[in-house]
Amino acid sequence: MIELTAAEVAEATGGRLAAADPEARVTGPVVVDSRLVEPGALFVALPGERVDGHDFAAGAVAAGAALVLAARPLDGVPAVVVDDVQGALGALARAVLARVRAANPELRVLAVTGSVGKTTTKDLMGQLLAPDGEAVVPTGSFNNEVGLPLTVLRVTPSTRTLVLEMGADHVGNIAYLTSVAPPQVGVVLAVGSAHLGVFGSVEAIAEAKSEMVTGLAPGGVAVLNADDLRVAGMAAKAVDAGARVVTFGTIPAADVRAERVTIDAAGRASFTLRVRAGELGATSVGEEVRAPVALRLVGEHHVTNALAAATVALQVGLDPQVVAERLSAATPVSPHRMAVTERPDGITVVDDSYNANPDSMRAALRSLAVMAGRERRSVAVLGEMRELGDTAREAHDAIGRLVVRLNVKLLVVVGEGAYHIHEGALQEGSWGEESVFVPDLEAARAVLAEQLRPGDVVLVKASNGSGLWRLGDELASGELKPAGAVS
């Protein structure tokens, strides 16, 4: 973060100083975990359901924190005291970004939202733009009211690109996030069924995602997925808000599109990137441009993410050929997202266990089928898709039926919340022992140890809260081995 005095932090957050020298300087990072404190840091004492950050404030100062952002005075701890710590964190990020933007008009703030693909797309955006100057990109999925301000507060006077991921589980979330950091370019990937149980309807999800296009900085660019009708329909809102609209997709009407998409035996997509004349951002020319792309990411669904990232890069001035070359060189960055591990024993692990909803589950299963082909055995280890509300039973049942249609050879369903995947598989075909339901991770380990064999392609997929990412780690590391395997 840029250097700030305690008085400046108080001014930005509307707080008051307590046991703090107004001229004391914050020279280190802003953190919410006292274990991450470095000399000169600002420790944000967030209250939580299980732990209260205020209990760790004194330890944070002892470890070198220069200041604490807190909801109450703490004995002997230099602090800025505010009514709402989380709100104050957002206010501080808003003020710091405005200050950096004023001093550095070249700073580019780019953001992405959508029901699926956000994290991969922001990772691709970072890899496309980092070679051209200092880039700040969120780690993991820092996409909420805490994670986004923490990412914003990593900007420095020399930052060229700030990439942001914006998530939502309620209408108004993205409106708030864009108020903290209004993007010059904002992407909407898709409107799906993630968090449907919270939103109540797909229409409400679309409303929430559209807050991206109405929250852009003045003169901003809305980058919309032409293949998703609900996203494409946001163009009118964007224009009404004064934004320019650029579309991406596979349909001919898209400004930036993928043609001749092919998938190799490893599940990786190649395509021709085709850019319509006049849609090349700062490098606008009069002729249409084509360039070949060969992704290293596994899954045909990553074509959409790659097109979105490419469109953003074009809008800030990258040459289409450079975009294609950098896309082809991009690698997976965030863990548990279609991470492929080739084990020495011949088992291929596809770990996509960070999160799951019906759209991403279908995409991952199709990738599994492609990777296994006809020569290898496909194994799907699936857990619960959370926050689906009244649609949960139907959605899980449909996934089980898809598993059968894709001819997945072994299905291991883990946990009561995912049971209807097993039920759907049984209803779709007479599978017998090919679909196994187990109540927990320990039982899943036992089944996999007994059933796995060299040559298998194993997909692990579930919502993060189900804990299946532990199985993903164990399988990828080789800790979980077939019974009788030699160590």
With H, G, I as helix, E, B as strand and everything else as coil, classify residue 179: helix
Run of H or E residues at 262: strand 256-263
Q: Tell me, what's the pLDDT at 286?
A: 55
Alpha-carbon distance 437 to 459, whole Å? Answer: 16
**Residue 487 confidence (pLDDT):** 53
Q: How many CB atoms lie within 10 A of CB 354?
A: 22
Q: Which domains does the chain have, with CATH numbers?
A: 4-85 (3.40.1390.10), 104-329 (3.40.1190.10), 339-477 (3.90.190.20)
pTM given for the model:
0.90
Beta strands in 375-462 (DSSP E): 378-382, 410-414, 435-438, 457-461
Residue 283: the pLDDT is 44
Question: From CA 249, how far away is CA 464, in angstroms rounded?
Answer: 29
Output the CA–CA distances (angstroms, integers) from residue 247 to 193, 262, 304, 436, in the order listed.
Answer: 22, 22, 11, 43
Q: What is the pLDDT of residue 42?
A: 98
Take residue 162 and report the two structure tokens written for it: 């700030």
- Would strands 268-275 and 256-263 be described as parallel, antiparallel, or unpaired? antiparallel
- Residue 371 · residue 350 · CB < 8 Å: yes
Nearest to 354 by CA among 458, 480, 473: 473
- Please state, in angstroms and rounded to a whole number, the distance separating the CA atoms of residues 454 and 102: 58
CA distance 381 to 456: 12
Residues 334-392: pLDDT tens digits?
889 999 999 999 999 999 998 899 999 999 999 999 999 999 999 999 999 998 888 99
Give me the half-sphere count of Cα atoms (radius 13 Å) on the Cβ side of residue 348.
Answer: 21
Using alpha carbons, select from 107, 240, 275 the residue that is nearest to residue 181: 107
Residues of the chain with confidence (pLDDT) below 50? 282-285
CA dist list (Å): 326 to 78, 247, 306, 438: 46, 20, 10, 43
Beta strands, E only, 131-232: 135-136, 161-165, 185-188, 221-225
